[in-house]
Amino acid sequence: MMNIEKQSFGTTPEGKEVLKYTLSNNQGMEVDIISYGAIITAIRVPDSRNEPGDVVLGFDTLEEYLGDHPYFGAMVGRVCNRVGKSRFELEGRIFHITANEGANQLHGGKNGFDKQVWTTYSHKTPDQISLMLGYESADGEEGYPGSLLVEVEYSLNDKNELGISCRAKTDKPTHVNLTNHSYFNLNSCEGNILGHEMMIAAGSITELDGESIPTGKILLVDSTAYDFRLSTEIGERIDQVEPGYDINYVLDMKQRELTRVAAVHDPESGRSMEVLTTLPGIQLYTSNYVNGIRGKGGKVYEKHSAVCLETQFFPDSPNQPKFPSTVLLPGEEYSAITVYRFSH
């Protein structure tokens, strides 16, 4: 039967207890989530031989998650991806936010949502099990205006669908762009993902400058290494985009409805993953700077050891008036849904 279990995962240096929850369904799928960073620490799904395997990178201990790592499995905010020059104008005021990648901000700053302990409660219905995580981001945190109440719901059902539903409300005009930064390797995190076959339903990308900040231009993917509209091995053209893929795709969506936008298949294990979302963009990242990180079970993660498909509003949206807006006003609710569906 579907079940949710809770245990202690350790204590932060500030003395806050971190909890680990395990969600399990009737199909042999399990998802581990901790209250620190609302991090997905493991996703165990059966392969074509019905052997379970963990398909996301991560660590075994809280101490490792408290250290420096590339956002393994974390909920990223208040604004994910990059904000150019760590500033933006909102309602006539200039706001300076924390820089943590040169002059720019990446993934919410030095102490973003990935470094907070979230409140938790679980919920069960006949169709699914859910873990709700809440966080209140204070007015001025990392430079952002407004007190922001955030709720993330992770849900698991018997269709092997891991749902991520995000909601947020603010008391002042602000920007919100949340994503989950899971690193997927469908071959039980063995080797690299260059042989994984991938489809992304997008005919264009956001052009970047030398600091990976969007220029504001939208480029077509036709006849480029970025064209994944037909399922293609990730490694087939990756040498044309050294050091690998790290780009936002403009999804071919008519409306902001839950739409299948990407799919990945690993021929070796027989596992497949589909991505559905209500968001307008998806960041493809091929672990270009993962270099000798010792992870779960002592496994060493190297370059291209996983693929990230981060659903999002476009990078640098606070400074790009032509991009879909990330502005959230008092009285409004930020709402976004992403589903990762697994099969074998």
Q: What is the C-alpha separation between 105 and 98, in angstroms, rounded? A: 6
Reported as a single tens digit per residue, the pLDDT across 61-92 is: 999 999 999 999 999 999 999 999 999 999 99
The closest alpha carbon to 162, from 195, 184, 191, belongs to 184
Q: Enumerate the active-site residues.
A: 181, 310
> What's the whole-number mean pLDDT along residues 176-189?
99
Residues 6+ apart with CB under 8 A from 67: none
Reported as a single tens digit per residue, the pLDDT across 19-48 is: 999 999 999 999 999 999 999 999 999 999
With cut-offs at 50, 70 and 90, classify the pLDDT of residue 255: confident
Reported as a single tens digit per residue, the pLDDT across 297-319 is: 999 999 999 999 999 999 999 99
Backbone angles phi, psi at 29, to 5 degrees: -100, 140
β-pair partners for 20: 7, 34
Q: What is the C-alpha separation between 159 and 276, in angstroms, rounded? A: 14
Q: What is the C-alpha separation between 155 and 163, in angstroms, rounded? A: 5
Residue 123: pLDDT over 90: yes
Tokens (6 digits) for 150: 């955030």
Quote the DSSP letter at residue 66: H
Residue 256: pLDDT over 90: no
With cut-offs at 50, 70 and 90, classify the pLDDT of residue 1: confident
pLDDT at 196: 99
pLDDT at 50: 96
β-pair partners for 280: none
Domains of the chain: 3-343 (2.70.98.10)
Residue 283: pLDDT over 90: yes
Distances (CA, A) of 308 to 32, 193, 273: 18, 11, 12
